[in-house]
Structure 1
Amino acid sequence: MKKITLIALLATAYISCAQGRFDNVEITIEPVSDNIYMLQGAGGNIGISVGDDGVFMIDDQFAPLSEKITNAIKTISDKPVTFLVNTHFHGDHSGGNTNFEAAGAMIVAHDNVRKRLANNKKTADSGLPVITFSDDATFYMNKNDIFITHVHHAHTDGDALVYFIQSNVLHTGDTFFHGNHKFPYIDINNGGSLKGDIEAAKKGLLLINNSTKIIPGHGPVATKAEYQKYHDMLVGIHKNVSQAIKEGKTEEEVVAMESLTADYHSDKDAENSFITGEKIRRAAYKSILAEKEATH
């Protein structure tokens, strides 16, 4: 009995601690274009389309923030969240799925997002996407053609770009980091690759024009020029690390070579970023080696 009581107390303490880290988080709302808004709090950027057809939502951050996010949405629309798109499966973008599903939202994502959520004991029982797609999907809502397209093995193996055609707004999910997030996060263990992230940026750039406003996975709203700069950085890192591998450098030698990424950000400049210079060089090394193995 004492053991059961201790376990219960520890579980309660854990839940309380998890909830507590979000107590002081504020959800901010930034108008992006006519009826499109970006919400920021803790986790990935949320995109919102509002109008007579209801609320179309992209990503939902962490579960303890769902009530705050819902209250923020109510300040710009009295309609319910009709559709919720997950740009990928990571918890800072899909953690609120169960709560929004319970409130009536229909969850949409790439096939691999559902597979990964369904294979995780923490997320298998609820909040799974009920509509999935393999390549593309289009929604017609709030006077927008909303084009959703899968980008292969980029940040993960289930990423999607969401483009509001009439409003000319693109949500990239975590295939694009901006602002204080210096380097990309390539989740190699979950199907991500540097080459795929480059292709994702190429695809996004083909969809948009110079007037497009871009909601990145993390960071402030961006321009096409800033998105292009991010793409060029990915290409440069891929080229530099590929050359180092060709010269016979080991993984640890590549990780130690700041010169491979210094043209974009110094290690000191990125030391407080989620992905440091050392982390992106290690990810690039592993990703490029995997590419080479796949072609043999």
Structure 2
Amino acid sequence: MMKTIPFVAVAAALLSAPCLAQNPGPERLAEVEIRAERVGDGLHVLYGFGGNIAVSLGEQGGLIVDSQFPELVPKIRAAIRELGGDEINFGINTHWHYDHADGNQRFGPEGVWFISQTDSRERMSVDKFIDPLTRPAFDQPAYPPAALPIVTFDNRMQLHFNGERIDLLHFGPAHTAGDAAVFFRGHNAVHMGDIFTPGGYPYVDSNSGGDLDGMIAFCRAVLAELDEDAIVIPGHGAISTYADLVRFTEMLQSVRDRIAELIAAGASLEQIIAAEPTAAWDDIYGGDKVRFIDRAYSTLSR
């Protein structure tokens, strides 16, 4: 059952965007509203502009996974109040990219304590750049101290909050070098950030330690933690299933093997793109296959 908070078309268009939603600027963000979808009692997903936000609400307070943009924080808080929540006590960043973490810059000074994988905090604390390939590379400036995670973990961490165990797991480089999968064990659900993008081919940020083989290994490790009835929350796009994640992982492996075969035969990037190694999956994932092939090539040819 879905509880909907009205939102405009500009936000709806981004629900299936695979990753790195472009910062639209304050004027366009002013038009965005928030939609909420129920996962289970006390657990919802908020869609707006940027990465999907998971929200845990209960007797102990509120916890969010990812934070979108500072301009949207008042609307995110209002949406949480509509769901019966009040204060947000903790936040978890699945990774450091701005469309998942820029909201830290408002939530943090307002008292939310953030948690991330160690590498993600390190990248948030210094000036970085992102090269999405589909548009010019751009800077992501260092966050102020109040916006940085105050707790980090290397591979595994547990929280006990609102009556369930929440596991934060890192299985090595994937979308970036510092991704976290967030398991809500009481709801049989996981938020995977941009490791899993059911609406399109993923972006492997090889400039930030991302790795295609690592993404495949990460997906398999997450599947091993789940049962077939699990709910999978992607970084962007609709709430998905275990079977959706299985299919996504099969796609990654299939494309990886084809590109590796072409590299071994001496093919250039241009020749690999022309060979269409994603052809068997384009009807399902569409999107920017050239960027996916480019980033896959960059990691497999290191």
TM-score, structure 1 length as denominator?
Answer: 0.87
Write out per-residue CA displacement over residues 193-233 of structure 1, whole angstroms, 9 at most, x where no aligned residue. 10011011101101111111111011000010011000000
Contact kept in structure 2, 1:39 and 1:45, CA below 8 Å: yes
Structure with greater proportional helix content = 1
- Looking at structure 2, the residues matched to 284 and 133 of structure 1 have their Cα atoms a distance apart, in angstroms, of 27
Contact kept in structure 2, 1:266 and 1:277, CA below 8 Å: no
Q: How does 1:212-251 map to 2 (within 5 A)?
A: 212-251=230-269
Aligned to 1:173: 193
Aligned to 2:280: 263
Contact kept in structure 1, 2:92 and 2:114, CA below 8 Å: yes
Give the AA of the match of 2:218: A
Aligned to 1:56: 63
Contact kept in structure 1, 2:109 and 2:146, CA below 8 Å: no
Write out per-residue CA displacement over residues 111-151 of structure 1, whole angstroms, 9 at most, x where no aligned residue. 11111011124424430010011111100011110000013
Contact kept in structure 1, 2:206 and 2:295, CA below 8 Å: yes
Contact kept in structure 2, 1:193 and 1:287, CA below 8 Å: yes
Match of 2:152 among 132, 138, 141: 132
Three-state SS of the structure 1 residue aligned to 2:55 is strand
Three-state SS of the structure 1 residue aligned to 2:147 is coil
> Structure 2 stretches of 5 or more lacking a match?
1-23, 128-140
Contact kept in structure 2, 1:29 and 1:39, CA below 8 Å: yes
Contact kept in structure 2, 1:107 and 1:128, CA below 8 Å: yes
Match of 1:23 among 30, 47, 65: 30
Structure 1 residues 106 and 125: CA distance shift in structure 2, 3 A: closer
Contact kept in structure 1, 2:105 and 2:144, CA below 8 Å: no
Deviation at 1:75, TM superposition (A): 1.1
Q: Please report the RMSD computed on the Cα atoms of aligned residues, expressed in angstroms.
A: 1.4
Three-state SS of the structure 2 residue aligned to 1:50 is strand
Give the AA of the match of 1:197: M
- Looking at structure 1, the residues matched to 85 and 45 of structure 2 have their Cα atoms a distance apart, in angstroms, of 17
Aligned to 2:85: 78
Number of aligned pairs? 266
Q: Does 1:109 align with 2:116?
A: yes
- Looking at structure 2, the residues matched to 130 and 256 of structure 1 have their Cα atoms a distance apart, in angstroms, of 46
Aligned to 1:3: none
- Looking at structure 1, the residues matched to 295 and 268 of structure 2 have their Cα atoms a distance apart, in angstroms, of 13
Match of 1:211 among 229, 240, 250: 229
Contact kept in structure 2, 1:151 and 1:158, CA below 8 Å: no
- Looking at structure 1, the residues matched to 265 and 254 of structure 2 have their Cα atoms a distance apart, in angstroms, of 17
> Structure 1 stretches of 5 or more lacking a match?
1-16, 291-296
Q: Find runs of 4+ consecutive structure 1 residues off by over 6 angstroms.
A: none
Q: Does 1:90 align with 2:97?
A: yes
Three-state SS of the structure 2 residue aligned to 1:242 is helix
- Looking at structure 1, the residues matched to 171 and 223 of structure 2 have their Cα atoms a distance apart, in angstroms, of 13
Aligned to 1:68: 75
Contact kept in structure 2, 1:82 and 1:106, CA below 8 Å: yes
Contact kept in structure 1, 2:57 and 2:85, CA below 8 Å: no
Structure 1 residues 141 and 39: CA distance shift in structure 2, 3 A: same
- Looking at structure 1, the residues matched to 145 and 154 of structure 2 have their Cα atoms a distance apart, in angstroms, of 22
Q: Does 1:37 align with 2:22?
A: no
Deviation at 1:256, TM superposition (A): 2.1
Write out per-residue CA displacement over residues 241-263 of structure 1, whole angstroms, 9 at most, x where no aligned residue. 000011110111112221x1101
Aligned to 2:298: 286
Give the AA of the match of 2:177: D
- Looking at structure 2, the residues matched to 122 and 280 of structure 1 have their Cα atoms a distance apart, in angstroms, of 27
- Looking at structure 2, the residues matched to 122 and 132 of structure 1 have their Cα atoms a distance apart, in angstroms, of 17
Is the radius of gyration larger for structure 1 or structure 2? 1
Contact kept in structure 1, 2:58 and 2:85, CA below 8 Å: no
Q: How does 1:123-202 map to 2 (within 5 A)?
A: 123-179=143-199, 182-202=200-220
More relative contact order, 1 or 2 (CA 8 Å, 6+ apart): 2
Contact kept in structure 2, 1:33 and 1:169, CA below 8 Å: no
